[in-house]
Amino acid sequence: MRVVASAVVLRFVIWNGTRIRYEASLMAGSSTSIEHDVNAQKLKFKKIIETCIYSTDLNAMKDFYVNRLGLDLVSEEGGRHVFLKAGKSMLLIFNPENTRLAANSIFPVHGARTPPSSIHFALEIEQVDYEAAKNVLMQNKIPIEKEMSWGSGGRSIYFRDPVGNLVEIVTKGQWPVQD
């Protein structure tokens, strides 16, 4: 049995207050380094403004999200998409059979490549609205899959939409994001 041992020496060097050099050296003598400009321009995102999900049954999805959960209908194109408002964000529901085609649309091609696909997304509510949200689900006969109480004091309710996406209603403050 042969045992090979090696050592790596890592060194971080900051110079001129604006550049960092990451250096790695092996005992065998080889080395590499990478430089990084700490003042490099970064994009500054405010939030994710839209979430897209996919279904071939747009009417069932529209009924579920508008009539049972209370999201606002913004626009729709029959057989292609339904756009819904959820507070300060948008939920876009596309029919992948019709949105993977470039013809007759001002939008770029959209669509899940492997339908049926199932995703997870969360809708945020105020802590004081938790019980009311739970009651809305029960009144609309939407089965609750799981409830969670988080160490931060937040709470979540998980359930499925008509095509099997895992939807979460989560109380504000669970994630370190601002309005």
Mean pLDDT of the chain: 80
Query: Residue 9: is its pLDDT beyond 60?
Result: no
Structure tokens belonging to residue 49: 């403004």
Provide the pLDDT for residue 20. Answer: 62
pLDDT, tens only, 46-77: 677 789 898 989 999 999 999 999 999 999 98
Place 119 in a pLDDT band, splitting at 50, 70 and 90. Answer: confident
**Residue 26, helix vs strand vs coil:** strand
Q: If we measure between CA atoms, which residue out of 123, 144, 6 comes closest to residue 65?
A: 123
Label residue 6 by pLDDT band (50, 70, 90): very low
Enumerate the β-bridge partners of residue 1: none
- What proportion of the chain, given as a percentage, has pLDDT over 90? 40
Rounded CA-CA distance 88/124 in Å is 10
Report which DSSP code applies to 63.
Answer: I
Q: What is the reported pLDDT for 100? A: 75
Q: What is the pLDDT of residue 111?
A: 66
In the predicted structure, residue 5 carries a pLDDT above the cut 50: no
Q: Which fold has domain 50-171?
A: 2,3-Dihydroxybiphenyl 1,2-Dioxygenase; domain 1 (3.10.180)
For residue range 130-144, what is the model confidence (pLDDT) as tens digits?
Answer: 999 999 999 999 999
Query: Is the pLDDT score of 28 beyond 90?
Result: no
Amino acid at 120: H
Domains in the chain: boundaries: 8-37, 50-171
